[in-house]
């Protein structure tokens, strides 16, 4: 079947098989910034913004995604300049091996687009679905807090 999506602001059409996940369609078509982790929705590595909300793309059937708007982590920096969240992750040392980072950044983007001054508890809740084996999440929370300050105009990038 053919599905149409808007991915990172670009209209796209793809072939999908019945039962195929959005994650598999994205990766097959070159969106390698969407990581394949557990395939069961437990790790958050495949998180994308789907019609404005963070979701695990491994849990979305490609057929159900027809007509949707999808934003991947690469879509946050289309002109090559890092988004404040991406820059804050680098500045705060929140990137370790990097495997969980795209999904973590998408979850942070979802949170900060709704609330750019979250508490640490709200940040922790927002990234609770993103598993990281390299850290204790302290630097990620710091990075998200810093990105919120930048987005509020309270800190220099």
pLDDT tens per residue across span 42-72: 999 999 999 999 999 999 999 999 999 999 9
pLDDT at residue 157 tops 60? no
pTM of the model: 0.95
pLDDT at residue 18 tops 70? yes
Q: What's the CATH number for 84-152?
A: 1.10.150.120
What are the domain boundaries of the chain?
Answer: 2-74, 84-152
Q: How far apart are CA 50 and CA 70, in angstroms?
A: 5
Average pLDDT estimate for 117-121: 97
Pick 2-74's CATH classification: 3.30.110.30, 3.10.20.30, 3.10.20.740, 3.55.40.20.
Answer: 3.10.20.30
Q: Which residues contact 143 (CB under 8 A, 6 or more apart)?
A: 85, 88, 89, 91, 92, 94, 108
| Average pLDDT score over the chain | 95
Residue 123 region by backbone torsions, left for phi larger than 0, else alpha for psi between -120 and 50, else beta: alpha
How much is the pLDDT for 79? Answer: 85
């Amino acid at each position: 079947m053919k599905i149409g999506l808007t991915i990172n602001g670009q209209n796209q059409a793809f072939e999908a098989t019945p039962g195929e996940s959005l994650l598999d369609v994205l990766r097959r078509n070159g969106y390698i910034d969407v990581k394949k982790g557990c395939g069961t929705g437990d790790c958050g590595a495949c998180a994308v913004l789907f019609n404005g909300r963070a979701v695990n793309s491994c849990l979305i059937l490609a057929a159900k995604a027809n007509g949707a708007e999808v934003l991947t982590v690469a879509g946050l920096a289309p002109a090559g300049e890092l988004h404040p969240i991406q820059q804050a992750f680098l500045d705060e040392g929140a990137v370790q091996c990097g495997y969980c980072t795209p999904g973590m950044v998408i979850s942070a983007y979802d949170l900060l687009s709704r609330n750019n001054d979250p508490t640490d508890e709200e940040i922790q809740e927002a990234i609770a679905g993103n598993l990281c084996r390299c850290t204790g999440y302290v630097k990620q929370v710091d990075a998200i807090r810093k990105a919120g300050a930048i987005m509020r105009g309270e800190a220099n990038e």
